[in-house]
Structures are given as structure tokens and as C-alpha cells.
Structure 1
Amino acid sequence: MRNTLLYFLLFISIASCKKSGTTDEPTVNISDGTWRISYFWDQQDKTSNYSSYYFMFLNGGTLMAHGSSTTLTGTWSQTGTRININFSNPTMSDLNGDWLKTELTNSGIKLKDDSPSQDDQLHFVKN
């Protein structure tokens, strides 16, 4: 009887530790601030091709890439597991795709190609 009571109290104390109204996945607003590409693999490391750009994921689906002397505009959208990026400008067209989110935090976004046969990865970090 004593062991049963101890197990019951342990269960109650563990169950009460969970905060009510929370979810397992934190809410991250990628439209807040600017981002830069910290890693881009597309059959080879192409990170340096984008080192002079910073990116803004604007509310409403506009994606802006600001370089030292140019601003390129594309679109983006987000679902539960994916981020879709689309630039019509050839400079940014390698970034286009329906990317799977592997990590999404307030300081970083890690994406990978949704095709199992591809190992493409795209990582952003917050400026």
C-alpha cells in the first residue's frame, strides 16, 4: 500500500510539471528581423555565393534578398513542416524549392530537400 501511495504521488508531481496551454513546438516568427545563409549545400558547398546577402521574410509572403548593391524579391510560404521559397531572378534560383523544416528556432532555420535522393541543405541564422 505504501509503494502504491508513493507511485501515485510521484505520478501527480510529474504530471503537474507540465505547463497548461503549451505545445511541444515553440512559436517562431521568421518575419521578425533579418537572416543570412550560414550553410547551403546543393551538390557542393555554395554558401559563399550568398555571403553578401541578408534576407527578410516579410509578412504577406514577400522574401527580400538585400546585397551590397542590389535587392532581389521573391516569395515564401510556410506550412507545418515546410517552407517554400521562390525567386524568379537566376542569382537566387538555386534557393527555390519546397524545403522540409528540420529545425526552426528564433535564431536559426535549418531546411533540407524534400526528396530522399537529394542531400541539399539550406541553413539561415538570425542577424
Structure 2
Amino acid sequence: MKYLVLIYGDDSWTGSAADLLAVRELTAYKGELAASGELASSEGLTLPGEGRVVRIRDGVRVVTDGPFGEAKEQLAGFFLVDVTDDERAQQIAGRVSAIVGDRVELRETVLST
């Protein structure tokens, strides 16, 4: 069963000791999940202001620079894990939440191969 652990954050990244510690801990946990065979993929994302929205309008591609929404929290990264059951996925999401010091969203994928 594949699950996506969505990590949220805001644009308050400062490179502080706490920020760097969280990155080191997430990287270490990524290594643990890879070693256990449970990690399918994991990436951090650029700040929302560096993103773009791409739409097709009347057959023409229209690209708009970010930021996009009024939401305080934006998607900051993810872990895609392949685990035996929902309980294990919740354990992983809980550990990621503890590392980042905030909530994470856990969603099962559909139509996975």
C-alpha cells in the first residue's frame, strides 16, 4: 500500500539551528525508510513564490508565476512510502510530524502499481 505523507510549512525558513536540525533529522529518517525498503520517494519543494501555475486556455499554454493563495501554510515536501498497512503509514506520518513540529497529511494513493 502506498501512502503520501504531505509536509506543510510557510515561507519563514531562516536557516536557523532549529531549521537545520529538522532537515538533518528528516534526511536521517529518509535513510532509515530507504534501508527498510519502505521509501518510494521523498523530496522537499521550493518556496511557493518560486512555483508556477500552468493552464491550457483555448489551446494555448498560460504560465503564471506564484505565489498563488492566501493560505499561510503551503506544501513544503513529501514522503511517498510503500508499507504493509495503514497503521505503519500512521507511524511514519507521526514520526515526520514530530520532526517538523507540525501536522502532516497522510493520504493513500489510488491506482498505484
TM-score where L is the length of structure 1: 0.20
Point out the structure with the larger helix share.
2
TM score, norm. by length of structure 2: 0.21
Instruction: Please identify the structure whose Cα radius of gyration is greater.
Output: 1
Q: Which has the higher contact order (CA 8 A, sep 6+)?
A: 2
